[in-house]
Amino acid sequence: MEPIQEKSLEMAEYFVTFCKQYNLLCYLCGGGAIGTLRHGGFIPWDDDLDFFMPRKDYEKLAKLWPKEADSRYFLSKSDKDYVDRNLFITIRDKETTCIKPYQQDLDMPHGLALDIIPIDYYPKNEKARKKQKTWALIYSLFCAQTIPEKHGGMMKWGSKTLLGIFSCKKARYKIWKKAEKEMTKYTREESDGITELCSGPYYMKKKYPIEAFESSVFMPFEGTEMPLPVGYDSYLKTAFGDYMTPPPVDKQVAHHDAVLLDLDHGYKMYQGEYYGEKN
């Protein structure tokens, strides 16, 4: 676990420095934020770091990174010609290998990744909120273009049916861009909360205080400092409840899996053997 954490921290430090340079707001979320407060760094059994970014900064990042960042770190974001089956940006270290089961058939940079997740406004109007969640589910299906296995039989059946009807790549892209536009259209004036629309059905139901994400605060993390939302306590309590109490011992395990992990060699040496096809 320690070598994975060391590489993840190296990537996170580069990412945070880049965001500072270009005045982009970012903050650790999920296990990284909990680890900062509870352990002064990584949760001992955690194997990655995730960041939130306000939607405006997230979209700026997508444009700036390919032009300005170190070419070692690839920004992976699905578009009309490239689908990585994620709902958000991942930053990947091309000098490492981390092949995920759901991406094994894809010819893409299979490096160790940081997840960069956008956050959006939660509309005050209940009817508008229901529409937002519906559009977010449509976005999730047509952006990832995979059938969800963990959300019940009806959702699995409905997803399979919709992907079967809209099998054309161009049609799928049009639907997901329409859904993305609709779910992210709300302004601060129309809203009374912040939410996650790209983290799955459970988290898109969460409503966090807008003030919690107005700015970041830097706190000690593994000998350096990492940003947290200024209202980290209200965010984490809403998302996770009593986040300062560790889970039972049998739950203290990493939640991510990989077909192959090699932190010393780039992913290209495994093409045709562990992912994609030989050139």
Three-class SS of residue 21? Answer: helix
Q: Residue 137: what pLDDT?
A: 93
What mean pLDDT is predicted for residues 36-56? 95
Token pair, residue 176, equals 């997901």
Kindly report the average pLDDT of the chain as a whole number.
92
Burial class of residue 198 (count of CB atoms within 10 Å of its CB; 0-12, 13-18, 19+): buried
- Tell me which residue of 111, 84, 101, 104 sits closest to 10, measured CA to CA: 111
Q: What is the pLDDT of residues 77-136, one digit of tens each?
A: 999 999 999 999 999 999 999 999 999 999 999 999 999 999 999 999 999 999 999 999
Centroid of chain to Cα 147: 18
One-letter identity of residue 193:
G
- Does the pLDDT value for residue 270 go beyond 80? yes
pLDDT for 63:
98
- H/E stretch holding 11 reads helix 2-21
Instruction: Give the number of other CB atoms < 10 A from CB of residue 276.
Output: 18
Mean pLDDT of 165-182: 89
| Mean pLDDT along residues 136-156 | 75
Q: Where are the domains of the chain?
A: 2-267
Task: State the Cα–Cα distance between residues 244 and 34, nearest whole angstrom.
Answer: 7
- Token look-up 């990537």 returns 11
Q: What b-and-e string marks burial along 15-44, b requiring 16 or more CB atoms within 10 Å of the CB?
A: bbebbeeeebbbbbbbbbbbbbbeeebbbe
Q: What is the pLDDT of residues 205-250, one digit of tens each?
A: 999 999 999 999 999 999 999 999 999 999 999 999 999 999 999 8
- Between 35-39, 45-49, 64-68, 159-163, the lowest mean confidence (pLDDT) is in 159-163
Q: Are 145 and 163 in contact (CB under 8 A)?
A: yes
